[in-house]
Chain A
Amino acid sequence: MKNFIFGFLTTFVLILIVPLTYLRLGAAEVRGDVRAPSWERRLMQFALHAAVRRNAQRIQNPLPHSDEQLVAGGKMYLDGCAGCHGTPGRPARIHIAYAPPPEFAHVGTPYSESELFWVVKHGIRRTGMSAYASFYSDQQVWQLVEFVQQMNNLPPAVFDAIQPKRR
């Protein structure tokens, strides 16, 4: 029994100390232009979605869906989000390989409206996604969220209305 406890504790402490030492000695890769291995990407995306789902449980969209909301959201999106997340027909301008911002026009999103709302307001830790609660009202965030979800399936009138005006 004594040996069992000794083995348990030794391993426990080692598992905690080894990663901390690895980091502190500067062994960790820090470059943002090298992609993460796919197991890590999948694990983190899974854990992130689980955490967002948990946080967004009780949030509900109070706005009715309408073309006006989509147009308002689309204009904000082109102004504030498209640089990293891209738009239909135009790829993103800023490229971060680790963690990469999803290009919604290509991949859509598995997140529900409530989950997206929570992410826009609170941001995502240890990514380039900052917290936007102090820059947009709740109503504006809902408009954005609606646009993100429907980006690849916009009514033609909405698509025309959000195009930058040509002079």
Chain B
Amino acid sequence: MKKFLVGSLCAITFLAIVLAAYLGLGFMDVAADQRPSAREAGFMTASLEASVRRRAPQMQNPLASSDDTLIAGGKLYLNDCVGCHGEPGQPPSDFGATFYPPAPQFPSAGTQFSEAQTFWVAKNGIRMTGMSPQGSSYSDSQLWSLAAFISRVRNLPPAVVKAIRPPPSK
């Protein structure tokens, strides 16, 4: 038993030294201009989704499901989210791809999150990504309309698409 403990302590010391050398000598990968490997992306995405599922409220969107809600959310999306997350009907955002991890492109890829989860993520942000918390910039009801829009962004009613389209420049 004593030898088992000595072996255990040796393993802890060994890993601590390896970690300290890895970090202290500058071997940590810090460049953002590569894509995460498929394994890393899969694991981290699953972990993020598990954390969000645990913490986000489980509820329906309190706003009425109407074109007006989608239009309000769509205007907000076009104003503040398209830079990284991509514009409906346009090619994916080049800027969104320069982050590590890259920003998800909702118009082409949609989202795995429920509206309540999207609301929660938009409000609180996601640590260790470029997703900044929006809770101080927008009211809850604005963020709920945004969540409704994002969950429908691949399947918008034509009237909504028309209403949020920026007016043609003169």
Contact = CB atoms under 8 A, between A and B. Distances in A.
A99 B99 CA distance: 13
Interface in B96-143: 98-101, 124-133, 135-136
Contacts of B95: 130, 135
Interface centre among B50, B95, B125 (most CB of A within 10 A): B125
Interface string B1-31: 1111111111110110000000111111111
A34 B128 CA distance: 11
Contacts of B136: 95
A4 B127 CA distance: 40
Interface stretch (B40-48, B59-67, B144-152, B161-169): B40-48
Interface in A11-60: 11-12, 15, 20, 23-34, 36, 43, 46-48, 50-55
B6 A4 contact: yes
B3 A48 contact: no
A124 B132 contact: no
Nearest to A125: B100
B98 A11 contact: no
Nearest to B34: A125
B94 interface: yes
A30 B15 contact: no
B51 interface: yes
A153 to B, nearest CB: 28
Contacts of B68: none
B12 A11 contact: yes
Given A1-B3, A31-B124, A125-B29, A26 B98 contact: no
Interface residues of A, number: 58
B4 to A, nearest CB: 4
Given A7-B6, A8-B10, A8-B11, A31 B125 contact: yes
Contact of A10 (B8, B50, B52, B129): B8
Nearest to B11: A11
A94 B49 CA distance: 24
Nearest to A35: B127
A126 B100 contact: yes
Contact of A95 (B7, B46, B51, B133): B133
A128 interface: yes
B47 A24 contact: yes
A29 B126 CA distance: 9
B137 to A, nearest CB: 9
Interface in A104-135: 121-135
A29 B51 contact: yes
Contacts of B24: 46-47, 50
6 cross-chain pairs, A with B, having the tightest CB-CB distances, nearest first = A32-B125, A7-B7, A123-B32, A26-B50, A54-B26, A131-B33
10 contacts: A3-B2, A6-B4, A11-B7, A23-B44, A32-B125, A34-B127, A46-B24, A48-B28, A127-B32, A135-B95
